[in-house]
Structure 1
Amino acid sequence: MEMRNVKLILSYDGTEFHGFQTQPNLRTVQGLLQSTLEGIVGHSVSIIGSGRTDAGVHARGQVVNFSTSSRVPIEKWPIVLNTKLPDDLVIQDAELVPDDWHARFHATGKEYRYRIDRSPYTDVFLRKFCHHVPYPLCIEPMREAARQLVGRHDFTSFCAANTPVTNKVRHLYAVELIEEGTLLTIVCRGEGFLYNMVRIIAGTLLDVGRGKLSPDEIPGILAACDRTHAGLTAPAKGLTMWKVFYT
């Protein structure tokens, strides 16, 4: 039968997942979605994701695609899948796309958000999705440091030391800080991101907010191309893959 290429937008709470990518004997987003789809369509399915998320990282707008001979109407896919999937993985939308469309290769950019709870005590309703930082933060220096990161730079200092990618030059379109009461959100938009890049940016900006680093030190950290010059990697639970952009 004729194969159709289906695009899905999904959200998930990453707390109980060992990341996006399939791993033997571990609960992953790709693995769970793939096995659920295969149970529905009756043939093997290969899930292509727009990118990976680590264990504990969440997604609001992860994008995947897969090919299937199933005749399930495209508008029914969210309903069919959501009746089979657990509550921490939800299909938001489905769309038929051209046969050569690829969730990863056709992406033109991504937005990640790192959320920080600044309340004196852990908010029980935010604890799974925010990094709790009860000490005072100076926001304006953090904003100034964030502006230093915008543009095309070698982000070697802002990615995990064991990152296998050779070319670590990336273009950040925006790094913004949004305050909503005690909630502080670091918004990062760019053409692409390196392993742990947003979490290291968040950890570095937190150091600026605590007065451990000056905004003026950011260009030197970038130029050093040395992971040890930047801040700590902020915890995974504060990070959400917010949106994937396509032309």
Structure 2
Amino acid sequence: MIANREGIGDLLAEGTMRAGEKISGASYYAMHVKGLEIPMADPRGRWSTWTFGNLTNIRGGDHLRNRNPVENLRFNSEPNQYKYEKFGLGEDVFNKLDIPRNLKNEIFEGDNVNIPKMSKWAEDLISVFNSVGICIRPPVLQTIGPKYIAQLFSALTGIDTSETEVMLAGERTWNMQKLFNLRCGEKPQQSVYPARFYHEPLPGGPSAGRKLDYDKVQEVLQEYYQARGWTKDGVPAAEKLKELNLG
């Protein structure tokens, strides 16, 4: 029905957001961010870099642009903590992570992972992975990073490339995509979870009773913008664009 746009399929073919806008009272139940349906992880039950990425992802509720090396299946152990998630993957994994030491010290604070800073790192790295054509599953992200990619690129092209240049390319890519979205009319208020996540607590499971705190989520989002060198409205600042040779 959807493929042929027959009957109600004609409406559903427009996607969850547009269908919700046309059906009275349905928008509240439309699970999407920026018009794209969110994936399987509910941020009320699993608050992490991955689920936070639904807000920062340039595609909206997409789970593939912010895969990161600290992903694990643990539920929230500290329901009121929004800035950090627990690493919980062991010292051996930590030691293998291909992240420059200075950034490692910023992202990791003991067993805590700074979600805003890890989000930026992960998004830039995934931009590189997608450009090169490398799998983005967590086991790969835990063993391959910019140092390896720089060596690979240098060997294949004969162009001497550093890990710093690799990550700069990823950051340029992410900022270009953000600029494209802004040009097409993206607004700051679109970087928000479905209203149900803020108003309805989870009915069961290890995180039963939890709902998101809007103000705390926005605080983390503002720290992410700062980490990126963007304005409080999520717009790449002129200084950042100059730094990236984009303006």
The TM tier, using the shorter chain, reads: under 0.3
Q: Per chain length, whose mean CA-contact separation is higher, i.e. which structure has more relative contact order (CA < 8 Å, sep 6+)?
A: 1
Q: TM-score, normalised on structure 2? A: 0.24
